[in-house]
Amino acid sequence: MSKKVKSLADLKKIKSDVQQKMKLREQGDHAEQIVQIKVAMATCGIASGAKEVMEFIIEELDFKGVDAVVTQTGCMGYCYAEPTIEVIVPGQDPVIYGFVSRDKAREIIEKHVIQGEMIDGIIPVTHKTIDDEEN
C-alpha cells in the first residue's frame, strides 16, 4: 500500500490517527500504563554519551521488565547538562533530567519510573511552548 498522502484532508486524518496512538501510549486504558523516555540525541548530546545512555536505558528497562518506550529526539537546549533525558509518566508532568550517566539512569528508572519518586538533577523547563503562548 502506498503511503502517499493525497490531500489535506488525508493529512489531517493521519494526524488524528497518530495523535490517537500517542494518546493511547500516554494515557493507556490498560492497567499497565506506558512510560515514555526521550533521549536528546543531537550532536551535543551524542558527544557527551547520549547514545550509550539510551542503549543502557533500553537494556535496563528490559531487564527490570518495565514496559516503556524509549525514543530519540533533538537538542533540548540544556547543553550545559548533557546528556539530557525526558521522563514522561502517564498522568504526570514530564520531567527532564540532566547529566544522565549510567548510574543516574539506573537511579531514574529505579526511583522515578518504578517508584514514582523524583530524584535530584531535574532540569526545570524554562521555556514556553507555542501552545502556552496561545492567549
Footprint of another protein (CB under 8 A):
3-8, 10-12, 14-15, 18-19, 22, 33, 38, 40-44, 46, 71-81, 84, 86, 89, 91-93, 98, 114-130, 132-133
Distance of closest approach, residue 57 Cβ to another protein, in angstroms: 15
Contact (CB, 8 A) for 48 and 79: no
The rounded distance, in Å, linking the Cα atoms of 87 and 94 is: 6
The rounded distance, in Å, linking the Cα atoms of 26 and 68 is: 10
Distance of closest approach, residue 7 Cβ to another protein, in angstroms: 5
Angle (nearest 5°) at CA 69 between 11 and 100: 120
Distance of closest approach, residue 121 Cβ to another protein, in angstroms: 7
CB nearer another protein, residue 63 or residue 80: 80
CB nearer another protein, residue 38 or residue 104: 38
